[in-house]
Amino acid sequence: MNAVSLRRLARLMRNDLLSAARPALYGTASLFGLTVISCVLIHTTRIPSGPVADLVIFGMCLIGGGLGMASMAFQGMRRPLERNRYLMLPVSNLERILSRYLLTGPLFVVYAVVAFVLFDQVAKLLVALWLDRSSPLFNPFAPPMKWLVFSYLLAHAVTLVGALCFRRHALLKTILFLLLVILVQILVENVTGRIFFPGDYTWSQFGSIRTSNVELIPWFAASWMNFILVAGLYTWLLYVAYQCLRDHEA
Amino acid sequence: MIDLESIAFAYTRKGSPLFPNLSLHLPAGTLCGLLGANGAGKSTLLRLISGLSFPVGGRCRVLGHEPCRRAPEFLAGVFLLPEEFQLPAVEAGTYAVRFGSLYPRFDEALFQRLLGELQIPRQQKLGTLSLGQKKKFLLAFGLATQARLMILDEPTNGLDIASKSQFRRVLIDQFHPERSFLISTHQAHDLQGLIDSVMVLAQGEILLHETVETMESRLQVTLESTEPRDALYTEKTLEGFKVVRPRRGMQESRLDLELVFGMVTSAAAQVRELFPRVAA
């Protein structure tokens, strides 16, 4: 048997989906409620309505809901009474992680977009009926959506690693870990800057006092390099998640 | 079917290993009882065989696979009934549709028949079943997967008297030369008359691994009024002393698994002389 069999993967995904059906249903109901409430609030207050407001609401639902689900994707493996049964299912590790990655990542994005488009239409119809006000419908193909989805998928990969590495409060610990990484990165940047470009820094100020003209990584400006870097980081994160799953089995 | 060669396993890197050098060979078509005291490592051994724990040394082959690689083909051939487990809140039929489809040789008709034989309520949610019913359900499911190696960890815990009888009957019915059962238990009496070989695990090694037939040919159990000094093992009862001795003459006696366990743990050296296969 191969490490990945499409038939087996589809069956595993169906099982995983059915196991998560109840929280997904509650999440969808919350999304509907949130969309209606936001729509009413936007039209009854001075908050500007329009595509930006729609994107903000959608982004909150996508990132909040999706990352929440991703952080709990491997909860069953943490429970000793469920763990053995789950790990003894005749599927490969790659299929285990692929199933939960696809369900909480790309497929969740599609699901969230479709649900939000529907709920947005219903909410705006209700607002038009009750308040006699109208606003443009949510456009899932608006240019900022691409960046929102990319950001989500990257954050999702990190959360998936966190879900496998941290036993409890995975999302909180992942966020704290990311904050720590950012803090360390800022510190390293400052220390390195002070060593190599002492003229750009003073001891009375934390950051650089002027924009450096030196391009540390000149090729970095190229967009295709950016893409390769992000894709590489993404693949590496998923590989780390796969290794974590294997290590956690022992 | 199971080949463990000089397996080493420890839960912590610094602590003393649970199994410093454990070897074991279990052929196909065996109904083997695994006996051992609390903490002897029975469940750990079962986890090593089923690929849920990874050995730190030695060679481990089960059904021709390395369990630690956890290949789907291997996992489809092994079914583990854990001592404690949780089942989802679905009905038996739904469970079979969801999880049975992952096993390439899952037999739905057999599953339905076993549910009937073991008297599992089909319409009740699995989460609301008693521990005994859950065990019987998972046993029925495991047998229906047609797994070649069935690993049962304390399967009779939580079973009532009638259920124990059903359990034994179903196991014997589903036993065939291509399939092996490895049953770990504290309740040695529950396996009496069911198993064809016994394995006793103590001090991180297999002290005894022998067929019941061979043991019966080399040991004899008698009931005596006084405690003899030359016995391998004695146990005081209301009627007198149950005595285990090396067999002399042609007199046959039925082996009592609890006495065997007591004998192995209290007279390990003499047992090795009588049954040199493991020592060799």
Per-residue pLDDT tens over the stretch A85-132 = 888 899 988 898 899 999 999 999 999 999 889 988 888 888 888 877
Q: Other C-beta atoms within 10 Å of A120: how many?
A: 23
Helices (H), chain A: 6-19, 21-44, 51-71, 75-78, 80-87, 93-104, 106-131, 143-165, 170-196, 223-249
Judged by CB atoms closer than 8 Å, whether chains meet at A93 and B70 is answered as: yes
Residues 76-135 of B with CB under 8 A from A: 76, 78-80, 82, 84-88, 98-99, 101-104
- Contact across the interface for A88 and B84, Cβ inside 8 Å: no
Banded model confidence at residue B135, pLDDT cuts 50, 70, 90: very high
The pLDDT confidence band at residue B280, using thresholds 50, 70 and 90, is very low
Calculate mean pLDDT across residues B31-60.
89
Beta bridge partners of B234: B243
The CA distance from B66 to B68, in Å, is 6
B218 in reach of chain A (CB within 8 A): no
Please compute the mean of the pLDDT values over residues A10-25 and round it to a whole number.
Answer: 88
Joined together, the tokens standing for residue A221 give 């400006």
Residues of A in contact with B99 (CB under 8 A): 15, 89
- The answer to whether position A50 is within a domain reads yes
User: Which residue in the block uniquely carries the two structure tokens 């090396």?
Assistant: B246
Q: pLDDT of A53-72, one tens digit each?
A: 788 888 888 888 888 888 88
Query: Is there a contact between A91 and B72 (Cβ–Cβ < 8 Å)?
Result: yes
Question: pLDDT tens-digit profile of A200-219?
Answer: 777 776 666 666 555 555 55
Tens of pLDDT, residue by residue over B137-191, are: 999 999 999 999 999 999 988 888 888 889 999 999 999 899 999 999 888 888 8
Question: Can you say whether residue B70 is alpha, beta or left, with left for phi > 0 and alpha for psi between -120 and 50 degrees?
Answer: left
* H/E stretch holding B268: helix B268-274
Residue A51 lies in a domain: yes
In a domain, A20, yes or no: yes
In terms of residue numbers, what domain contains A36?
A: 6-142
β-strand pairing of B19-26 with B2-9: antiparallel
Strand positions, DSSP E, chain B = 2-9, 19-26, 31-36, 57-62, 78-81, 149-153, 180-184, 197-202, 205-211, 219-224, 233-237, 240-246
Question: Of B151, B233, B156, B222, which Cα lies nearest the Cα of B188?
Answer: B156
Contact B102/A15, CB-based, under 8 Å? yes
Q: What is the mean pLDDT of residues B89-98?
A: 90
A183 CA to chain B: closest CA distance, Å?
34
Residue in chain B nearest A19 by alpha carbon: B88
* Residue A147, number of CB atoms within 10 A of its CB: 11
Give ∠ CA B28-B33-B36 in degrees, rounded to 5.
135
Residue that has been written with the tokens 């974590």 in this structure: A244
Please tell me the total count of domains within chain A.
1
Q: Which residue has the tokens 């509907």?
A: A32
Average pLDDT, chain A: 81
Asked whether residue A220 carries a pLDDT value surpassing 60, the answer given is no
User: Could B72 and A91 be called an inter-chain contact, meaning their C-beta atoms sit closer than 8 Å?
Assistant: yes
ipTM here = 0.84
Is residue A35 a part of any domain in this protein? yes
Q: Tell me if A156 is assigned to some domain.
A: no
Mutation site, A8, A78, A85, A249, interface B, largest B CB count within 10 A = A85
- Closest Cβ–Cβ partner in A18, A82, A93 for B86: A82
Optimal mutation site among B46, B50, B52, B151, interface A, most CBs of chain A within 10 A: B52
In the stretch 87-146 of chain A, residues with CB closer than 8 A to chain B read 87-93, 95
Residue B115 in this model has a pLDDT that exceeds 90? yes
DSSP letter for B244, please.
E
Strand ranges of the sheet holding B180-184, from the earlier edge strand across to the other edge: B78-81, B149-153, B180-184, B31-36, B197-202, B205-211
**Residue contact A85–B102, C-beta within 8 A:** no
Rounded Cα–Cα distance for residues A222 and B45 (Å): 56
Assess if residue A106 is contained within a domain. yes
For residues A99 and A14, the answer to whether their CB atoms sit within 8 Å is no
DSSP characters for B63-116? Answer: TTB-GGG--HHHHHHEEEE-SS----SSBHHHHHHHHHTTSTT--HHHHHHHHH
